Structure 1
Amino acid sequence: MRGKHRIIVSTKRLKYDFELRRNLTIIQGDSATGKTTLVDMIRDFINNPSGTPVELNCDKKCYVLEGALWKQQLAGISAGIVFIDEGNEFIKSTDFAQEIQQTDNYYVIITREALPALPYSVEEIYGIRTSGKYGTLKQSYHEFYRLYGEDTYENVVKPELVITEDSNSGYQFFSQICKENQLKCESMDGKSNVFHYLNKHRNEKILVIADGAAFGSEIDKVLQLIYGRKNVAIYLPESFEWMILSSGTIKSSTVDEMLSNPSEYIESKEYFSWERFFTAVLIEETKDSYMTYAKRKINPVYLEKTIRDAILKQMNKIELNVMKEN
C-alpha cells in the first residue's frame, strides 16, 4: 500500500479528521486526550456498521487489532489501515515487528512507550489536538523536523564532536569531513546507543546525526536528556541517502518527483521504512556510473569538493567549516 489516506471518524457530537502518510503512525498523549475514544469509535463501526451512530470514511478498509489472537487476525488483513490501542503488549515484541514487515497495511499504534523494534519516523509521532467537538492529529515533534536546538551556539551549530547513528557510508562521509577540519567523529553503531553516549559526554559541543525516518523510538528520551543543554544539537534528515538525493547531484526528474511526494512511490510491503526506499533509489540511479553508491563503503567521489559541499548544504545552520574552503 502506498500514498496518503484521509480518515474521518464521526458521530453527531464528535469528529476526528486526519491523514496518514506512512505505514507506521504513532499516537501518544496522556489519559483523557481522546486516543482510546478514537479506537472505540472505529471498533464500533467495524462491528456494527448499520447499527452504530459512528460514521467512518476512508478509501481503505479499517481494522482494530487486539488480544491474544492478533497474529491470526493479522493474517486475514491486506491493504488496510490497522489501529492498535495501548495496552496490547504484543506491539513491543520483535515478533510483532517481524510480522507486520511482511504485510501491505498501514498501522496506527497508540502507545505511551517507545517501540524500539519498529523503525518509525520522528515526523509520524502525534498527539490528538481537540477543538470543541472536533479532533485531529498534531505532530508531537514537528518543530524538530530537521534541526534540534536552533538557538544553540547563537543560531549556528559549530560542534567539536559529531556522532552518527550508523557505521556505514554516512559515518565514513562525516568522519572524513571531520578529519579534514580537526573535529572528532564517532559512530554509535545503532540508534539506541545515542542516548547512552550523550548521557556520558556532557561537556563537549556535540552534533548528533541520525536517520529521522527510523529515530522515532529514541527521540523522546533523547530530548528529555538534553533539555536545557546548550551544547547538543540534533540533525535528523530522512537518511544519508536522502541527503545525497536531495543535494541535486543526481540529475533525474524521477528522483525530483519522488522527493517531492515520497508517499506516492513507497510501497509499504517492499520498504518497511523510508530509509530503505531512499537507499534503493540511490543505488539504482547510480549503478554502472562513476557515482555508484554502496551502503557499506563510501564511494570516494562523494568526498570530492563539489559533491560533498552540495550534500553538506542540506544541513541548515550547521557549520563544519568545509563550506568556507577556498
Structure 2
Amino acid sequence: MKGSFSISVQNNTVKYAFSLKRNITIIQGDSATGKTTLVDLIREYEQNGTDSGISLSCEKKCRVLEGNDWNSHLSLLKNCIIFIDEGNRFVESKEFASEVKKSDNYFVIVTREGLENLPYSIEEIYGIHTSGKYSDLKQVYHEFYKIYGNFNLENKIQKLITEDSNSGFDFFNSVSQKKYICESAGGKSNI
C-alpha cells in the first residue's frame, strides 16, 4: 500500500478524523486522551459493522491486531490499516518488526514505549487533541497533532562529534559539507 489515507470514525459521542501518510504511525499521550477509545471503536465496528452504532469511513479496511495469535492473524490481512493498542507486547519484538517490513499494510500503533525495532519516522508520531465539551448531548471531536514539529537543524549545528574515527566520521564529515565542524571522539568512552 502506498499513499495517504483519510479515516473518520465516530459514534454518537465521539469522533476521530485523521490521515495516514506512511506505513507506520505512532500515537502517544497521557492516560484519558482517547487513544484506547479509538482502537475500541475500530474493534467494535470490525465485529458488528453499522449495527454497532459506529460509522467508519476509509477506502481501506481497518482492523485491530492483538493477542498471542497476532502473527497468524497478520498473515491473513492484506492492504489494511491495522490498529494495535498499547499493552500488546509483541510490537516490541524483532519478529513483529520483520513482519511489518514485509507487509503491505499500514500500522497505527498506540504506545508509550520506544519501538527500537521498527523503522518509523519522527514525523509520524502523534498525540490526540480533543475539542468540544464532554456532555451526553454534544459530540467530542478528536484530531491528531504532531508531537515533534518540523525541525530545521541546518543553522543550529555548530559541531558534530562521532564515536569512531572511521566510516561514521567519514560519513558525517562528508554530509556536513564544511557547514559545521565534524570531529571524532576516538571511542564512546571519550564522548
> TM-score, structure 1 length as denominator?
0.51
What corresponds to 2:143 in structure 1? Answer: 136
What corresponds to 2:168 in structure 1? Answer: 167
Separation in 2, partners of 1:117, 1:123? 17
Contact 1:174–1:185, Cα closer than 8 Å, also in 2: no
What's the secondary structure of 1:30's corresponding residue?
coil
| Selected match of 2:151 from 137, 143, 146 | 146
Deviation at 1:15, TM superposition (A): 0.5
What's the secondary structure of 1:117's corresponding residue?
coil
Kindly provide the CA deviation profile for residues 79-115 of structure 1, in whole angstroms up to 9, marking residues without a partner as x: 1100000000000001100011111000000000100
What corresponds to 2:61 in structure 1? Answer: 61
Counterpart code for 1:159: Q
Contact 1:175–1:186, Cα closer than 8 Å, also in 2: no
Q: CA RMSD in A?
A: 2.9
What corresponds to 2:135 in structure 1? Answer: none
Contact 1:67–1:88, Cα closer than 8 Å, also in 2: yes
Counterpart code for 1:117: N
What's the secondary structure of 1:9's corresponding residue?
strand
Counterpart code for 2:183: C
Distance 1:185 1:39, change over 3 A: same
1:96-111 alignment to 2 at 5 Å? 96-111=96-111
Gap regions ≥5 residues in structure 2: 133-139
Separation in 2, partners of 1:101, 1:161? 31
Query: Which is richer in strand?
Result: 2
What's the secondary structure of 1:130's corresponding residue?
strand
Equivalenced residues, count? 182
Deviation at 1:177, TM superposition (A): 3.0
Separation in 2, partners of 1:98, 1:119? 10
Distance 1:88 1:57, change over 3 A: same
Distance 1:4 1:168, change over 3 A: farther
What corresponds to 1:114 in structure 2? Answer: 114
Contact 1:83–1:107, Cα closer than 8 Å, also in 2: yes
Separation in 2, partners of 1:91, 1:146? 28
Misfit runs of 4+, over 4 Å: none
What corresponds to 1:37 in structure 2? Answer: 37
Contact 2:169–2:182, Cα closer than 8 Å, also in 1: no
Separation in 2, partners of 1:8, 1:176? 45
Kindly provide the CA deviation profile for residues 193-245 of structure 1, in whole angstroms up to 9, marking residues without a partner as x: xxx88xx85xxxxxxxxxxxxxxxxxxxxxxxxxxxxxxxxxxxxxxxxxxxx
Deviation at 1:157, TM superposition (A): 2.8
Contact 1:175–1:185, Cα closer than 8 Å, also in 2: no
Distance 1:94 1:58, change over 3 A: same
Counterpart code for 1:134: Y
Deviation at 1:160, TM superposition (A): 3.4
Identity of aligned residues (%): 45
Kindly provide the CA deviation profile for residues 57-87 of structure 1, in whole angstroms up to 9, marking residues without a partner as x: 0000011000000000000000110000000
What's the secondary structure of 2:17's corresponding residue?
strand
Separation in 2, partners of 1:94, 1:169? 30
Query: Which is richer in helix?
Result: 1
Counterpart code for 2:148: Y
Contact 2:172–2:182, Cα closer than 8 Å, also in 1: no
What's the secondary structure of 2:51's corresponding residue?
coil
What corresponds to 1:185 in structure 2? Answer: 183
Separation in 2, partners of 1:9, 1:85? 16
Q: Which structure's relative contact order is higher, taking Cα pairs within 8 Å and 6+ residues apart?
A: 2
Deviation at 1:119, TM superposition (A): 1.1
Contact 1:6–1:20, Cα closer than 8 Å, also in 2: yes
Deviation at 1:158, TM superposition (A): 5.5
